[in-house]
Amino acid sequence: MLVDIMKKYNVKTFGSEILGKKAEKVTVFDDKLAELAAAMVEIMNHFDGIGLAAPQIGISKRLVVLGVPDNPEQPNKSIGEVMLLDKMPLVLVNPEITAFGSDLCDYDEGCLSVPGIYGNVKRPYIVKLKAQDLQGNFFEYECGGLLGRCIQHELDHLDGYLFVDRMSEEDRQNIEFKLFRLKKNGKRKEYNRPWK
Ligand code: ZN
């Protein structure tokens, strides 16, 4: 039940220490890991997110869930989009990017841990993702489009980075006051108590 899940976990917002820490590798593939991933999917869906990393709910583990929507009209899909978009919600255990494409693109990103703030981040259009599933099986695909973007954003969380750390100096300065306010008030926000 979502209510029980949200009593156990809450979404950590900007300023929370765990968001700046490198998360630990998953070494045990058991029912507990599957339960945690299922809880993360519920939280992600509740907030209409398209991705959530374990540190965002206070768990220092290299675990990510994705709920990236498919766009059937998008041409030239990467092999990863073809293979993975119809498997959403998707769990990535110990994900890593093994190669970055050279083409960069702009996109306005948001984050459940930085509520109400959006900003442009330049990132490679395509990356090669290597990850394990909940049974520990490895898979590796080139992922572009929104999927590639979301993977890069979520994997940053595992290394202690937020999208606001990737914004241009100028764009970052424009949101600095909002970030300051969020850091000060984050914990008191209704945002962390959605069952009310
Ligand atoms: Zn995020």
The domain limits of the chain are 2-187
Strand-pair category, 63-66 with 51-53: antiparallel
Q: Is the pTM of this model over 0.85?
A: yes
- What was the pLDDT predicted at 191? 53
Mark out the alpha helices in the chain (DSSP H runs): 2-8, 31-46, 79-84, 145-158, 169-185
Contact in structure between 117 and 178 (CB atoms under 8 Å): yes
- What was the pLDDT predicted at 196? 35
- What was the pLDDT predicted at 186? 66
Q: What is the assigned CATH class of domain 2-187?
A: alpha beta
Distance CA 164, CA 34 (A): 30
| Three-state secondary-structure class, residue 159 | coil
- Ligand 1: distance of its center to the CA of 90 in Å? 16
Candidate list 42, 154, 176, 190, residue with the active-site label: 154
- What was the pLDDT predicted at 195? 41
Contact in structure between 154 and 131 (CB atoms under 8 Å): no
Q: Please list the pLDDT of the chain residue by residue as tens digits (196 residues).
A: 777 887 788 899 999 999 999 999 999 999 999 999 999 999 999 999 999 999 999 999 999 999 999 988 888 999 999 999 999 999 999 999 999 999 999 999 999 999 999 999 999 999 999 999 999 999 999 999 999 999 999 999 999 999 999 999 999 999 999 999 989 876 555 455 444 3
24 in catalytic set: no
Residue 128 host element (H or E): strand 127-132
- Ligand 1: distance of its center to the CA of 163 in Å? 7
Contact in structure between 77 and 35 (CB atoms under 8 Å): no
Residues, the chain: 196
Contact in structure between 86 and 66 (CB atoms under 8 Å): no
Q: Which residue has the tokens 């917002």?
A: 13
- What was the pLDDT predicted at 184? 87
Closest CA to 44 of 68, 8, 60: 68
- Ligand 1: distance of its center to the CA of 168 in Å? 17
- Ligand 1: distance of its center to the CA of 58 in Å? 13
Q: Which residue has the tokens 């998008």?
A: 74
- What was the pLDDT predicted at 185? 79
